[in-house]
């Protein structure tokens, strides 16, 4: 495993995303991931699976403090009191006294950024989260969140893959000491039949998905949380640290495409 170090925190380059995982499927996926060596797990109030994630962590042969656990506040909780109450609910479902990272899931245009970030900052001061951050914020929204927060914004969790490299946001994050956390790094399966990734995979004896993940984690200041439920895919996603793409290959993989990004989002919307 490789790590990103930010604000004194070592965060595994690859974690487990749990979007649209439910019940036993979610609990088993997290348990298997922890057995395989994952130490970074992401959930959210909106996913409805915090209880299963917490159960898997509680029963794993891994100390709680060795797992970097993230959850996200549903953006409809926009008042200070609602945010605080919702986080207490998350902690109860997760069966833990704290999370390592607490994010606001989406920017809410009718919410006060100052009030939202004050709530997250106060929860950090109270020890209910070790770090705070945002998700799905663009550059201007991230800057506003940083200005409003009473604590450092550790990360912006966004969709990031070869067809949606978010160059402007990544440049801003690097300049301002913010980690970029990449979700949907495989473009909801859109990388699987890509010809460039297939050719590079043949060269390195890797799958197209592994080449795409390698492209993601080879970026400085980026970690990623691919979703996977089967042991095969969980193992495959971890096996990307034994090869390295050249600068030329990194450039070849990166092909911004609004069409392919849009298709990826549609695929994700209807994914089961």
Percentage of residues of the chain with pLDDT beyond 90:
94
Catalytic hit among 47, 80, 172, 204 = 47
Pairing verdict, β 9-12 and 3-6: antiparallel
Q: Dump pLDDT digits (tens) for 209-246.
A: 999 999 999 999 999 999 999 999 999 999 999 999 99
Residue 2 has pLDDT above 60, yes or no: yes
Section 152-180 average pLDDT: 98
272, part of any domain = no
Mean pLDDT score, 137-161 = 98
98 belongs to the catalytic site = no
- State pLDDT tens for residues 182-192: 999 999 899 99
Look at residue 263 and tell me if it is in a domain: yes
**What's the pTM?**
0.95
144 lies in some domain: yes
Instruction: Provide the number of structural domains found in the chain.
Output: 1
Each residue's pLDDT tens digit, 104-119: 999 999 999 999 999 9
Q: In terms of Cα–Cα distance, which of 229, 138, 223 is closest to 182? A: 223
Range of the domain at 99: 3-267
Distance CA 138, CA 215 (A): 22
- pLDDT bin (cut points 50, 70, 90) of residue 257 is confident
Mean residue pLDDT across the chain: 95
Q: What is the pLDDT of residues 194-214, one digit of tens each?
A: 999 999 999 999 999 999 999
Q: Is 142 helix (H, G, I), strand (E, B) or coil?
A: helix
Question: In angstroms, what CA-CA distances link 230 with 22, 32, 41, 81, 255?
Answer: 14, 8, 15, 39, 29
Is 230 a member of any domain? yes
Q: Where residue 146 sits, what CATH number does that domain have?
A: 3.20.20.100
| Average pLDDT, integer, range 4-19 | 96
Mean pLDDT of 38-53: 98
Q: How many CA within 13 A on the CB side of residue 116? A: 30
Alpha carbon distance 106, 87 (integer Å): 16
Residue 264 has pLDDT above 70, yes or no: no
Structure confidence at residue 272 (pLDDT): 40
């Amino acid at each position: 495993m490789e790590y990103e170090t930010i604000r004194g925190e070592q965060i595994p380059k690859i974690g487990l995303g749990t979007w649209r995982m439910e019940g036993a499927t979610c609990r088993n996926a997290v348990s298997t991931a922890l057995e395989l060596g994952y130490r970074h797990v992401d959930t959210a109030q909106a996913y409805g699976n915090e209880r299963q994630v917490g159960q898997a962590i509680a029963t794993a042969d891994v100390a709680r403090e060795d797992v970097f656990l993230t959850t996200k506040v549903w953006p409809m909780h926009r008042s200070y009191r609602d945010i605080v109450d919702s986080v207490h609910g998350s902690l109860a479902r997760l069966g833990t006294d704290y999370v390592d990272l607490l994010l606001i899931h989406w920017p809410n245009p009718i919410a006060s950024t100052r009030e939202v970030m004050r709530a997250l900052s106060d929860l950090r001061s109270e020890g209910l989260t070790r770090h705070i951050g945002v998700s799905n914020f663009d550059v201007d929204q991230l800057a506003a969140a940083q200005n409003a927060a009473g604590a450092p914004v550790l990360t912006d969790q966004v969709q990031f893959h070869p067809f949606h490299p978010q160059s402007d946001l990544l440049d801003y994050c690097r300049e301002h000491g913010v980690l970029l956390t990449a979700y949907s790094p495989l473009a909801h399966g859109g990388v699987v039949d890509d010809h460039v990734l297939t050719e590079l995979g043949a060269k390195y004896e890797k799958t197209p998905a592994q080449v795409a993940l390698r492209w993601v984690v080879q970026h400085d200041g980026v970690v990623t949380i691919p979703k996977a439920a089967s042991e095969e895919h969980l193992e495959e996603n971890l096996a990307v640290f034994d090869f390295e793409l050249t600068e030329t290959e990194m450039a070849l993989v990166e092909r911004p495409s609004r069409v392919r990004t849009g298709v990826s989002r549609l695929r994700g919307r209807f994914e089961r």
